[in-house]
Chains A and B, each alone.
Chain A
Amino acid sequence: EVQLVESGGGLVKPGGSLRLSCAASGFIFSNYAMGWVRQAPGKGLEWVSSISSSSSYLYYADSVKGRFTISRDNAKNSLYLQMNSLRDEDTAVYYCARVAGAAGTLHWGQGTLVTVSS
């Protein structure tokens, strides 16, 4: 069974940093692209960042470019999101997602809440 477990969320002041982690199990992690999707309170889903299976291709939404860094460790079956210079508008539940198939189908973790507030 595919399992994705996020951790690292919490309360941080504007300008601060957090590192999110996603532990994957139940599939061959190194075979799949992975991504982070966020959902602000009461809002819809926003694609934040993604990374190819070998880390050769990275994507960032304009809203986080230059502040967030995605990475992965295939030996540890883990995905990461380093978030710097956090802003109020980064407050959201952050979901780790496995990308599968030609249609970019997503399988989701349970999410971790990031709150940016002074």
Chain B
Amino acid sequence: DIQMTQSPSSLSASVGDRVTITCRASQSISNYLNWYQQKPGKAPKLLIYDASSLQSGVPSRFSGSGSGTDFTLTISSLQPEDFATYYCQQGYSMPYSFGQGTKLEIK
């Protein structure tokens, strides 16, 4: 099974900050990598698919990059509604494993 490792596991930041979350796969997964945002009590919401494609309706301050084993999610200027938990997910092979999550908190 492919293991996904996210870092950091938690992050404190302020409104307007630029934030980067990383995700590393235990083997190459090409660009088969997706990013989700989850708020308490809600289902995950797709932000980025195929490593760098922005899901329709998602603000352009979110961006993704990477291929192979190393990926990043960047939020260019944090907004109050962005404080949430973020997960990466590989779709290269079953099981479609997830990173352990990054909780983004207000500083």
Contact = CB atoms under 8 A, between A and B. Distances in A.
B66 interface: no
Question: For the complex, would chain B's binding face be called helix, strand, loop or mixed by DSSP majority?
Answer: loop
Interface residues of A, number: 21
A54 interface: no
B92 A45 contact: no
Contacts, number: 68
Nearest to B9: A44
Interface stretch (A14-22, A73-81, A98-106): A98-106
Interface string B74-107: 0000000000000101111011111111000000
Contact of B34 (A105, A110, A111): A105
Contacts of A102: 32, 50, 91
A46 B36 CA distance: 14
Contact of A103 (B50, B94, B98, B99): B50
Given A45-B44, A110-B43, A59 B95 contact: yes
Given A101-B91, A104-B91, A44 B101 contact: yes
Interface of B: 31-34, 36, 42-46, 49-51, 87, 89-92, 94-101
Closest 6 CB pairs of A and B: A104-B91, A103-B32, A108-B43, A47-B95, A103-B91, A45-B98
Interface of A: 35, 44-47, 50, 59, 61, 95, 99, 101-111
